[in-house]
Chain A
Amino acid sequence: MESFAGALTVFVLAVFIGFEVINKVPPLLHTPLMSGSNAISGITVIGAMLSVATPDPLSTALGFVAIVLATINVVGGFLVTHRMLGMFKKKD
């Protein structure tokens, strides 16, 4: 139970940080914000890696598919965000 309370503390504090940080993102960059936040939500990939390494074959299979999905998020998300942000230029 102790670890649960700790995890909950982390969750609540992170939500507050999220509100503070995201509120400063201008509407100009809301689309890159969404694709970029998609990319970091692909962090589930590390959970999926651990599932693959377990002895149960079904769990391994689920983990495998989860890695594929999460990696699409990570690579697709960061790359498309980079592509988009490269387009934003100031008047020369």
Chain B
Amino acid sequence: MINGALINLFYLASSVLFIVGLKGLSHPRTAVRGNLLGAIGMLLAVIATFLHRDPLGNGPLQAIGLILAAVLVGSVLGALLALRIQMTAMPQMVALLNGFGGGASVLVAGAALLDVRAPSIHFMVATGLSGLIGAVTFWGSLVAFDKLQEFLLPGKPIHFPAQQIVNVAVGLASLAMIYWMVVGDGDTAVLAYWILVFLASIGGILLTIPIGGADMPVAIALLNSYSGLAGAATGFVLDNEVLIITGSLVGASGIILSQIMCKAMNRSLANVLMGNISEASAGPSADDVYAGRVKNASAEDIAMVLDGAQRVVIVPGYGLAVSQAQHAVRDLVNLLESRGTEVDFAIHPVAGRMPGHMNVLLAEADIAYDKLKEMDEINPSLQQADVAIVIGANDVVNPLARTDPTSPIAGMPILDVDKARTVVVIKRSLSPGFAGIPNPLFAADNTLMYFADGKKAIVDLIAAIKAN
């Protein structure tokens, strides 16, 4: 059995393992080991808590049984989810996990409030913050999940009149509830807490519905951060340092990722959160850009262009994930390489629906990770590419970001595929991307448009190359 002083040493060991584990994620070579170290840290913390003499070891047998049952149920559900999820649906999975983390914080803080005797002010404030952030995370994540799955809500931003005023009112009412928890007595505090959780739930929904589909990477990263902060707040409630440390690590991680995503879109976090992608009224219309200039190419035409190409760069976008084209793309890469062509991938930071989404999809298809190049790394060498193949990407290769200061995507860093000798764009239609603006790349002199579903296009292209 473990006493109070000893358990803190176990928690310290867990915290160290978490930090070392996250450090392992700085390179694919050490990442698997890092993840395992994190898992060992978790196991250590759980076992130590389980053996803790006070209150668990001497506690009722019934509690031990309940804990084991709950752990078993959670483990089975978690394992099923982890083993069955498709890599294309990883954003949904991470959204759900964020939500569960937030939900757990709400419940643990709520339970602590029932058990507490003579609470201090900072206990009440921490409990209130746990409930507030946790409930926002839970409901926000469910909305994000729903939008990604396109289940009930559309992926598009949802706006209604006086949205900001309602948000501010809900926020102020939530703060009032925390104040009520601090000044009220025991029963009042419990009531105030659950009203707070209810208000925060509405807040979580309201904060996430205006965020559009292509902005989901930011939303998920931010919710990731919230789930960490909710955990840290719960750590303050329980006066438990391993919770505080872990929560702040996760909180920092989410904040960094949302910053990276915002920078990659040249938009402020506030702008993304309000779903304010500016209207495309100023720019040229689709007809002006495309009329008479778009060159339609067949698989055979493109096979001819690829014949003798020294260097090919493939730009994957969300369309690749939607059409599950990653395995077909791998076959194309192998075929091209067998003919002596050098093939690389150019990955934009916001390609896909979550940070790093494209890398996971391509790794799943057995494409070596040293072929996956970041934007800053590959941009200077794109002019030496013979062919750039864009699969289901749009705004992240739109040259208007460089040339038109009035464009809604002005200043957004893009992949300079227009500088390649020939550009092949595989896309179902000329429909605009999330920014809602036409893309002059599609009408450029060196661009061939190949209108088809991503996967079918690649399969046909492979057949055409082999027949050539």
Contact = CB atoms under 8 A, between A and B. Distances in A.
Interface of A: 1, 3-4, 7, 10-12, 14-15, 17-19, 21-54, 56, 58-60, 62-92
Max chain B Cβ within 10 angstroms of own Cβ: one of A23, A47, A83: A47
A35 to B, nearest CB: 6
A46 B90 contact: no
Nearest to B70: A67
Interface string B20-32: 0111011110011
Contact of A74 (B42, B50, B227, B349): B42
A18 B252 contact: yes
Contacts of A87: 87, 360, 363-364, 366
B38 A36 contact: yes
B439 interface: no
A90 to B, nearest CB: 6
Interface string B255-292: 01100100000000000000000000000000000000
B334 to A, nearest CB: 12
B242 A43 contact: yes
Contact of B104 (A15, A56, A69, A75): A69
Max chain A Cβ within 10 angstroms of own Cβ: one of B97, B232, B359, B363: B97
A48 B257 contact: no
B243 A47 contact: yes
Chain B's interface: helix, strand, loop or mixed, by majority? helix
Nearest to A29: B25
Contacts of A23: 256
B246 interface: yes
10 contacts: A37-B253, A45-B104, A46-B243, A48-B70, A50-B56, A54-B115, A62-B108, A71-B74, A75-B78, A87-B87
B94 interface: yes
Max chain A Cβ within 10 angstroms of own Cβ: one of B81, B237, B356: B356
B168 interface: no
Contact of B244 (A7, A24, A71): A7
Contacts, number: 360
Given A38-B227, A38-B250, A84-B364, 8 more contacts: A21-B22, A22-B257, A41-B228, A43-B231, A49-B46, A53-B55, A67-B74, A74-B78
Interface string B362-398: 0110101111101000000000000000000000000
B224 A32 contact: no
Nearest to B75: A75
Contacts of B241: 7, 10
A46 B82 contact: no
Interface in B309-367: 347, 349, 354-357, 359-360, 363-364, 366
Chain A's interface: helix, strand, loop or mixed, by majority? helix
B224 A47 contact: no
B289 to A, nearest CB: 31
B71 A44 contact: no
B25 A32 contact: yes
A78 B360 contact: no
Contacts of A30: 257, 260, 354-356, 359
Contacts of B368: 89-92
Given A19-B252, A38-B227, A88 B74 contact: no
B109 to A, nearest CB: 9
Q: What 3 A-B pairs are tightest by C-beta distance, nearest first? A: A71-B74, A18-B252, A30-B356
A15 B251 contact: yes
Nearest to A33: B25
B42 A86 contact: no
B66 A29 contact: no
B242 A46 contact: yes
B210 interface: no
Given A37-B249, A40-B21, A85-B31, A31 B90 contact: yes
Contact of B249 (A21, A60, A63): A21
Given A52-B63, A63-B111, A37 B32 contact: no
Contacts of A69: 74, 100-101, 103-104, 107
B154 interface: no
